[in-house]
Amino acid sequence: MSGGTPAPRAELAALQIADAPEAWRALGFTVSEDGVVVLGGVELWLDAAGRGITGWTLRRITLHHDIDGLPTGTTTDPPPDTAGHPNGAMGLDHVVVTTPDFDRTSRALEDAGIALRRVQPDDAGAAPPGEAGRRAGGRPAGGGFRQGFRRMGPAILEVVEAPKMPAGPARFWGLVVIVADLVGLRARLAPHVGEIRDAVQPGRQIATLSPGAGLSPRVAFMDPE
């Protein structure tokens, strides 16, 4: 029988996103004066330099380097209080990372103490990735093959293999927001939310936010479990 205490599981604390706060506020998210959106214990820090999701901050982990090119910070701060949102957003279901080299990215995550807990092939012709099984809002460039998953506190990390994407590091690709009323949200944000379709998880549904809504990462909305 092995002794010792298991290492605490890494948690997603924050994502840095290169969008103006006004763009998220216009979609019904509550944005603080300093440009932060709180989604079920995860902070979205807006107004970062660049485009899309530009980095993440993790809790319960000790690191002094990025993870396979993913800019990574750490924090010991406790999760923030839950914030209410006019659009009914309740939390973050998962964040999607794409990589041209699934094995390399998996090893880098494992070396950082974030080993993927489940890996599955992506069936050719399957619906677009993002729903912890389908990708958030469309197939990444080059298509997807293997997909790996790991719960990180309040949200799931989904790693998608895209071998035809340009060589280089892993990249943040998009996120999926849980909302209380998916039908109502689609009506509120028309014409920027696409058709509601069945998610991979039984009994759940998902809809994609169009690029015309003005956000730089891919974003989709999903109903609660």
pLDDT beyond 60 at 57: yes
Separation of alpha carbons 78 and 154, rounded Å? 13
Query: What is the average per-residue pLDDT within 133-149?
Result: 61
Query: What is the average per-residue pLDDT within 59-70?
Result: 90
pLDDT beyond 60 at 33: yes
DSSP secondary structure letter of residue 86: T
Residue type, 52: G
Query: What is the average per-residue pLDDT within 51-67?
Result: 92
Q: Which residues of 167-195 are buried (b: 16+ CB within 10 A; e: fewer)?
A: eebbbbbbbbbbbeebeebbebbeebbbe
- Cis peptide bond prior to 169, omega within 30° of 0: no
Distances (CA, A) of 123 to 39, 41, 111, 158, 173: 31, 33, 28, 16, 20
What are the extents of the domains in the chain?
11-222
* CATH of segment(s) 11-222: 3.10.180.10
Cα atoms in the 13 Å half-sphere on the side-chain side of 107: 4
Q: For the whole prediction, is pTM greater than 0.85?
A: yes
Tens of pLDDT along 166-210? 999 999 999 999 999 999 999 999 999 999 999 887 899 999 999
DSSP secondary structure letter of residue 34: T
Tens of pLDDT along 77-87? 999 988 899 99
Look at residues 126, 131, 99, 136 and name the one whose alpha carbon lies nearest to residue 210: 136
Cβ proximity of 147 and 98 under 8 Å: no
Identify the pLDDT of residue 7: 59
- Outline where DSSP puts E strands in the chain: 11-17, 36-39, 42-45, 53-59, 72-75, 89-99, 118-121, 146-152, 155-161, 171-179, 197-198, 205-208, 218-222
Identify the pLDDT of residue 143: 53
